């Protein structure tokens, strides 16, 4: 029997909705691409987007900016982080997270994770106590949402400001509350591989008027902050506007137009992602020797990627297993690799951090963790074929 091969690319997103393309072309024709470059009483795409996103997210204030990583470093700054400060962060995340902490001159205090890819709340509590950190940058990595009641309780106990990195949880919920509404500030990415796609882009949301005003002015609004869409009252700006440095990182009208066309589709798309995810989850979790992290009841996830542990494959055989799947068109990323590859790296490869800790559970869990993107250009039948290939190849590498 010939071996089935999967031929679709794992990096192929859907096209931008027609309305967004048309509007982007109009903007290009007008030449007015900058968010403050408006003719007469023309509405700004960027500020309309901010208003619409704030309403959908359920936050009082929203800033659209140049990237998710930019939103994170701005969030750290407006929450008062200064050079030399310590910032708590879960160790299972992607490089822009420690990078943002480094960008503001702060020092990451990496926290271990548990078997289900969540921040280890006991380690968080211990490190909150001894580190003196006043900020937790919690990355809901690959959409796995920790017990947010416990996380918030720990933050409150030590007077720690919680920043949520929702790059993978745009639209996900915990106890019916949207991810990003648990801390002081939340950040989102609209980079191509996330839940909305403008190539590059990001959001910062908050309910704190002063933090919102600082973020808007520091994003590079000059004294045109009044042209933003979801902002606090003028008196708040009066207080902070001359004390907020301009860290230029605005969103432009083209990206805003593309995102405005996607926002009305997002709920439908989240449901489509979960159909694909649930299909893969059912197949993979039924395979001998495969572990898939348990989701908590309270979590409403968005399955835009899937993680599983190939427990039956020896660590030294994982590269060959990944290569065998790749040869049949199935692209798996290995989070346990000593050598960082593509978008994936393990925390101990971030060598610019002094005193990288040994985090036993993170290392153990990532050692066998494989990660797969699930773009919306896939169908349920595609997911079945992908699962067949993984199952088939795993048999060759079972120890």
Strand order in the sheet with 173-174: 177-178, 173-174, 299-300
Q: What's the closest the beta carbon of residue 262 comes to ligand PLP, in angstroms?
A: 15
Closer CB to ligand PLP, residue 97 or residue 230?
97
Phi then psi for 372, rounded to 5 degrees?
-140, 130
| Nearer of residues 165 and 382 to ligand PLP, judged by Cβ | 165
CB of 96 to ligand PLP, least distance (A): 4
186 φ/ψ angles, rounded to the nearest 5 degrees: -130, 150
Smallest separation, CB 1 to ligand PLP (Å): 39
Closer residue to ligand PLP (CB): 62 or 240: 62
Footprint of ligand PLP on this chain (CB under 6 A)?
A: 67-69, 93-94, 96-97, 139, 141, 165, 167-168, 189, 191, 202
- CA distances to 76, 148, 161, 200 from 152, in Å: 18, 6, 9, 30
Q: State the nearest-atom distance from the C-beta of 75 to ligand PLP, in Å.
A: 11
Q: What angle do CA 126, 129, 133 make, to 5 degrees?
A: 110
DSSP 243-270: GS-----BPPHHHHHHHHHHGGGHHHHH
C-beta of 69 vs 232, nearer to ligand PLP: 69
**Residue closest to ligand PLP when measured from CB atoms:** 68
Which stretches of 252-332 are assigned E, i.e. beta strand?
Answer: 290-291, 299-300, 305-310
Residue found under tokens 């990096």: 11
Q: How far is the CB of 280 from ligand PLP (least distance, A)?
A: 20
Give the residue with the Cβ less far from ligand PLP, 68 or 220. Answer: 68
* Range list of H helices, 38-93: 45-57, 68-78
Question: Residue 59 or residue 65: which is nearer to ligand PLP going by CB?
Answer: 65
Q: If we measure between CA atoms, which residue out of 314, 318, 326, 301 comes closest to residue 386?
A: 326
* Residue with smaller CB distance to ligand PLP, 167 or 306: 167
Q: Which residues contact 235 (CB under 8 A, 6 or more apart)?
A: none
Q: In the bound complex, what is the minimum distance in angstroms from residue 372's beta carbon to ligand PLP?
A: 15
Q: Which is nearer to ligand PLP, 20 or 202 (CB)?
A: 202
In whole angstroms, give the CA distance from residue 375 to residue 41: 39
Distance between alpha carbon 127 and the CA centroid of its chain, in Å? 23
CB of residue 30 to ligand PLP, shortest distance in Å: 26
Minimum Å gap between C-beta 311 and ligand PLP is: 25
Q: In the complex with ligand PLP, which residue's Cβ is closer, 95 or 287?
A: 95
* Smallest distance from ligand PLP to CB 129, Å: 26
Q: Is 281 helix (H, G, I), strand (E, B) or coil?
A: helix
Longest dimension (CA), the chain: 73
Question: Which of the 8 DSSP states describes residue 317?
Answer: G
């Amino acid at each position: 029997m010939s071996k089935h091969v999967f031929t679709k690319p794992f990096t192929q997103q859907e096209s931008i909705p027609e309305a967004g393309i048309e509007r982007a072309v109009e903007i290009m024709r007008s030449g007015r691409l900058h968010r403050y470059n408006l003719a007469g009483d023309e509405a700004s795409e960027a500020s309309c987007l901010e208003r619409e996103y704030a309403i959908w997210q359920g936050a009082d204030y929203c800033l659209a900016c140049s990237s998710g990583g930019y939103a994170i470093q701005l969030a750290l700054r407006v929450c008062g982080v200064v050079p030399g400060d310590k910032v708590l962060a879960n160790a299972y995340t992607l490089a822009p997270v420690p990078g943002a902490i480094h960008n503001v001159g702060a020092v990451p205090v990496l926290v271990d994770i548990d078997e289900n890819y969540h921040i280890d709340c006991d380690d968080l509590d211990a490190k909150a106590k001894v580190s003196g950190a006043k900020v937790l940058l919690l990355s809901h990595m690959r959409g796995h949402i920790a017990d947010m009641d416990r996380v918030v309780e720990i933050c409150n106990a030590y007077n720690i400001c919680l920043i949520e990195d929702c790059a993978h949880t745009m639209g996900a919920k915990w106890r019916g509350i949207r991810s990003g509404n648990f801390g002081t500030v939340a950040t989102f990415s609209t980079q191509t591989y996330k839940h909305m796609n403008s190539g590059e882009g990001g959001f910062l949301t908050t309910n704190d008027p002063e933090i919102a005003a600082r973020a808007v002015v520091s994003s590079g609004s000059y004294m045109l902050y009044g042209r933003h869409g979801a902002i606090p009252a003028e008196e708040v700006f009066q207080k902070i506007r001359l004390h907020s440095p301009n860290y230029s990182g605005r969103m432009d009208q083209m990206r805003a137009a593309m995102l405005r066309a996607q926002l009305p589709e997002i709920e439908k798309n989240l449901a489509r992602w979960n159909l694909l995810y649930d299909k893969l989850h059912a197949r993979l979790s039924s395979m001998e020797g495969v572990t898939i992290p348990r989701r908590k009841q309270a979590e409403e996830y968005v399955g835009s990627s899937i993680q599983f542990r190939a427990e039956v494959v020896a660590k030294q055989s994982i590269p060959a297993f990944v290569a065998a799947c790749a040869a049949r068109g199935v692209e798996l990323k290995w989070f346990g690799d000593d050598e960082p590859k593509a978008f994936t790296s393990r925390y101990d490869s971030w060598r610019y951090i002094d005193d990288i800790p040994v985090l036993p559970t993170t290392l153990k869990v990532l050692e066998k963790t494989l990660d797969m993107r699930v773009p919306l250009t896939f169908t349920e039948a595609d997911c079945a074929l992908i699962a067949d290939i993984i199952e088939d190849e795993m048999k060759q590498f079972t120890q």
